Amino acid sequence: MLANTLNTDKKVTEQQIGRVAVKLFFAIADEWKLSEEQSLLLVGASSRTTLHNWRKKLAANEPIKLSSDTLERLSYIAGIYKALQVLFSEKSQWQEWVHKPNRDFAGQSALERMLSGRVVALADVRRYLDGWRGAHYG
């Protein structure tokens, strides 16, 4: 009986984490001025319905269950966003950085790199920023 209760509590916790992650993602997507297609690529979704359903559940204050892949992607995006806030003192700088060409990404912007659709691309950008942050603040 207790195991079932703990299991239920765990699902609620995972779904609440999903709500927070999705809400943060939409805020980041707005700040970065992402198109719907770009948002879909970053979260690894193939259908606009996914984003629509997330918005609908947020508006209705309903829990959101995410796959481990989606949660991993959203975690990387949140980490990238936070690293930019640490590295740049002005909001406009950390909002625009993802769009600027970067020689360390073969001339691509960080966003172009992340839009490959692969989780490893998100991880690459996150590692890059963590390394850069370490060099500045280490």
The sign of the dihedral angle between the CA atoms of 106, 112, 117, 123 is positive
- The mean pLDDT of 72-87, rounded to a whole number, is 95
pLDDT exceeds cutoff 70 at 31 = yes
Q: What's the total number of domains in the chain?
A: 1
Nearest-angstrom CA–CA distance, 43 and 6: 29
Angle at 124 (CA atoms; ends 119, 128), nearest 5 degrees = 150
DSSP code, position 5: H
* pLDDT given for residue 91 in this prediction: 87
pTM of the model: 0.86
User: 96 vs 4, 43, 68, CA distance in Å?
Assistant: 47, 20, 29
3-class SS of residue 33:
coil
pLDDT-derived band at 16, boundaries 50, 70, 90 = confident
pLDDT 10s digits, 80-133: 999 999 999 898 998 899 999 999 999 999 999 999 989 999 999 999 999 987
pLDDT exceeds cutoff 50 at 27 = yes
* pLDDT given for residue 134 in this prediction: 75
Helix axes of 48-59 and 2-31: crossing angle, nearest 10 degrees: 110
pLDDT exceeds cutoff 50 at 7 = no
Give the residue numbers spanning the domain of 33.
2-137
pLDDT exceeds cutoff 60 at 78 = yes
pLDDT 10s digits, 41-63: 999 998 999 999 999 999 999 99
Nearest-angstrom CA–CA distance, 112 and 82: 19
User: 9 vs 69, 72, 75, CA distance in Å?
Assistant: 22, 21, 22
